[in-house]
A = this chain, B = another copy of it.
Amino acid sequence: MLSALAAHVLENGLNTASLRPMASAAGTSDRMLIYHFGSKDALIAELLEHLAAQMAVGLDAALPSTPFESDRALVLQVVQLMRSDPFRPYSRVWLDIISASAQGQSAHLEAGGKIIDTFLAWLAARHPDGEARAAVLLTLIEGILVMDGVGRSDIADAAIEALPGA
């Protein structure tokens, strides 16, 4: 159920999702969605948790958990992953979560914070210097996501190129 909803949201966007299209994507009715989740807000909250978990699993599966040789190598791998077909929908939904968070929607803010924390730990495990440097790289990666989102991947690439590394 949640997986079908997640698939629909990954394809069509989170902030513009409404009950009836989601329901038909999941093979039910809006009536049933409210029955199961209580309200749309509750549905979104559960969906955010599901998406976060799904993304965490995907990240773990995609890259080895051994430290990379350099900042640049690590960031390059991560960015290539985020730009790949299977992960691009997650990037788009992630930007939806961020914008809703910044508007003060608490469920998105909470989920967004957790996703960042997970990502930070994931990065730290793959960087020789651990968490301190990972914070920098994570911030840069988020910036790269923004650049990609507005069609300025060249600037993002320049930022990667400037990193210390092989």
Residue positions of A touching B, CB distance < 8 A = 13, 15-16, 91-92, 95-99, 101-103, 109, 112-113, 115-117, 120, 132-133, 135-136, 138-152, 155-156, 158-159, 162
| 21 pairs, A vs B, C-beta closer than 8 Å | A13-B103, A16-B103, A92-B99, A95-B102, A98-B98, A98-B150, A102-B150, A109-B150, A112-B149, A116-B150, A120-B155, A132-B162, A138-B143, A139-B144, A139-B146, A139-B158, A140-B159, A141-B143, A142-B146, A143-B143, A146-B146
Residues of B within 8 A of A102 (CB): 91-92, 95, 148-150
By a CB distance below 8 angstroms, the chain B residues around A112 are 149-151
Which residue in B109, B120, B152 is a CB contact (below 8 Å) of A151? B109
> Interface centre among A99, A115, A151, by most B CB within 10 Å?
A99
Question: With A and B bound together, what is the CA distance between A10 and B101 in angstroms?
Answer: 15
Contact A158 B146 (CB under 8 A): no
Q: Please, which residues of chain B bring their CB within 8 A of the CB of A138? A: 143, 155, 159
Min Cβ gap A89→B in Å is 10
Docked-complex contact A146 and B145, CB < 8 angstroms: yes
